[in-house]
Amino acid sequence: MADATIANTTNEPRKASGSAVKEVLGYLRRNPALAWGIGLILLLVLFFVFATLQVSSFTEYRPLSVRPRLPPSLQYPLGTDTQGRNLLALNALGLLGTLSIGLGAGFIGVVVATLLAFIGAYFGGRIDAVIRLVVDIGLSIPTILLLVIIAIAFHGLTLWQMALVVSMTAWIRPTRIIRSQVLSLRERAYVEVARMSGMGGLEIILKELLPNLMPLIFANFVASITHAILASIGLEALGLGPADNPSLGTIIYRVILYQGIIQGLWWWWLAPIVLIILIFIALFLISVGLDELADPRLRTTS
């Protein structure tokens, strides 16, 4: 039994990178939800790229940059608002801003959730009871109420402060979901085998449980992003959005504030709403697609 044989077979299950791409594409064909979700995100990216190419300068998102109240035209594909902002520039930057908040808050949310979930599951006892209590209370309080109170306390939020504020509620539900899955996985036979092999509690969580939880954590990451974006748009529409950077919800706030609907400036409110809808549909499809991916039965064939 030459070493060469062993080397060959240990390489066998790990594919070369070329066919990994093929595998991913093949999988996407079988998982239409995920494929369409990613497709929509790519569409949004394309929109942003188009804006970059078309707009003469992104600074036109600021008021008094161009002539106000212009309907969509070749020069201004999304028209302009009552204060002279180029809506294409504004929407493109707003898209970026909203997605940044979503990603930032979503990331913080899922990291906090994972930490709390593991701490609770590992230590058990009082610590776990406290975490459970906080989560249960948090779940019963309406998020928007909580966030409005927090946002008002800060005067004039920056984009990143916004993300931080919103992340304060994004971790609540994922904590519960991840924690219950950790507790359930803890009872698996391979965890007992790991104990028999001399592994300690923390080691088991990190080496045995965490890899298997990655699909769930990622799915919760997407959910967290969705929650964050929803919450941030809500706050922005109420006028509590970031003052420095554009975001989609703030556009809606201004539409209401400056009576854009009554004035018939349909292009003003249509663009951000379409973008928001596309974002949510994309996130929804991705999470549906991830559900399928996280199913252990599917993992064996991937």
Given the complex with other proteins, which of 9 and 17 has the nearer CB atom? 9
Is there binding between residue 125 and other proteins (CB under 8 A)?
Answer: no
Closest contact distance (angstroms) between CB of 10 and other proteins is: 4
Are 260 and 65 contacting, i.e. CB atoms less than 8 angstroms apart? no
Q: Residue 6: which H helix or E strand, with range? A: helix 3-11
CB half-sphere exposure, 127, CA atoms < 13 A: 11
- 189 touches other proteins by CB under 8 A: yes
Residue of 25, 195, 256, 281 interacting with other proteins (CB under 8 A): 195
Listed ranges 35-43, 92-100, 106-114, 192-200: which one lies at the site for other proteins (CB under 8 A): 192-200
Tell me: does residue 190 bind other proteins (CB under 8 A). Answer: yes
Q: Is 150 in the site for other proteins (CB under 8 A)?
A: no
**φ and ψ of 38, to 5 deg:** -65, -35
Number of residues forming the site for other proteins (CB under 8 A): 28
> Cβ 9 to other proteins, closest distance in Å?
5
User: What DSSP string describes 163-208?
Assistant: HHHHHHHHTHHHHHHHHHHHHHHTTSHHHHHHHHTT--HHHIIIII
Burial 182-218 (b: 16+ CB within 10 A, else e): beebbeeeebeebeeeebeeeebbeebbeeebebbbb
Residue 14 Cβ vs other proteins, minimum distance, rounded to whole Å: 8
If one asks whether residue 295 binds other proteins (CB under 8 A), the answer comes out as no
Residue 161 in contact with other proteins, rule: CB under 8 A? no
The answer to whether 199 contacts other proteins (rule: CB under 8 A) is: yes
Tokens of 3: 């070493």
Rounded to a whole number of angstroms, the minimum distance from the CB of residue 290 to other proteins is 17
Q: Which amino acid is at 112?
A: V
Asked whether the beta carbons of 107 and 228 are under 8 A apart, the reply is no
Q: Give the binding site for other proteins (CB under 8 A).
A: 1, 5-6, 9-13, 26, 30, 188-190, 192-199, 208, 211-212, 296, 299-301
